[in-house]
Amino acid sequence: MNPKIYDYKDEQNWFIGKCSETGSSVYYQEEAKKTYASLERDLRSLFDEGTSLMLTVVKITSAMALVQFILDIINDQQQHTYKASSHKGAILVTENDRLVLVCLPKNGLLISDFFGEEKTKPAELGDTILIATRNEGKTKEFSQMFAKLGLKVENLNQYPELPEVEETGLTFEENARLKAETISKLTGKVVLADDSGLQVDILGGLPGVWSARFSGPDATDQKNNAKLLHELAMVFDLKDRSAHFHTTLVVAAPDKDSLVVEADWPGYIGMEARGSNGFGYDPLFIVGDSGKTAAELSEQEKNDISHRGQAVKKLMEVFPTWQNAH
């Protein structure tokens, strides 16, 4: 490490600093510490691991001067090109075309001041992912799962102008890709589509990709469940009514290869509908050997073990890497 000592002095500010491997030490006048210490703490994250800053602030009136002084040290020691700029009372640290750090004043800023839009509210901030569905039940499940990644969820009900994407694929992945990639191209957004379905072994995997419209073009959950019970009317032994839910998730974004994950959830088809939670075939689907239908599970229980829950867990493991890939 270069033991170079750095010094900056003008009529209003005087800073002395150097990099150290033995731990940070920062000295301020007491009044200056109350106002400016948080800036130095914010900037510590930019130092390489194992590198600390020894800093003496003899006098200070400019937060920008202090930030730029510390950035100059980092740039010299670590071959970066960090720059500081002021924005609405905050200090932005950038490198080339990337925003690296935002240093806020001690008492924060009004969101409307920072973004320059009076109508901007906290609930409107943050990244979103558009779920390619109009099903509010499915959207609710995804919202709870993606909240763990700090992502907010929208669905197609918020975009009534978008056309319906015909699910003409013969596999779950083909249908999910059609929806995700088509809507992403139309909106420029990150879009997640799933094609999920129930596959009953004794029916040769039906209803499969036709699960949502099993009972015909005017299908409803109730009609689909009634048709499934009719198809299995002569199958009396539960072990012969084995089935599984399948989910394929596809995440698409403009100019990126789509991300694909899959999961299954084994169980059996019951003799009658039970439970009031969930949607689709949940009231008929007996989960493994639990004796409970999916509609008898709480939302949290279902999210933890369902085909969709398992697929989203897989997605969570790979989504950040995919999201940050160029």
Cβ(249)–Cβ(192) under 8 Å? yes
Label the pairing between strands 152-155 and 128-131: parallel
Q: Tell me the CB-side half-sphere exposure of residue 105, using CA atoms within 13 A.
A: 13
How far apart are the C-alpha atoms of 326 and 315, rounded to whole Å? Answer: 18
Residue 237 is a catalytic residue: no
Structure tokens at 279: 């949607």
How far apart are the C-alpha atoms of 84 and 73, rounded to whole Å? Answer: 13
For tokens 């109730």, the residue is 222
Cβ(139)–Cβ(133) under 8 Å? yes
Structure tokens at 70: 């510390």
Task: Determine which one of 10, 97, 195, 240 is catalytic.
Answer: 195
- Catalytic sites, residue numbers: 195
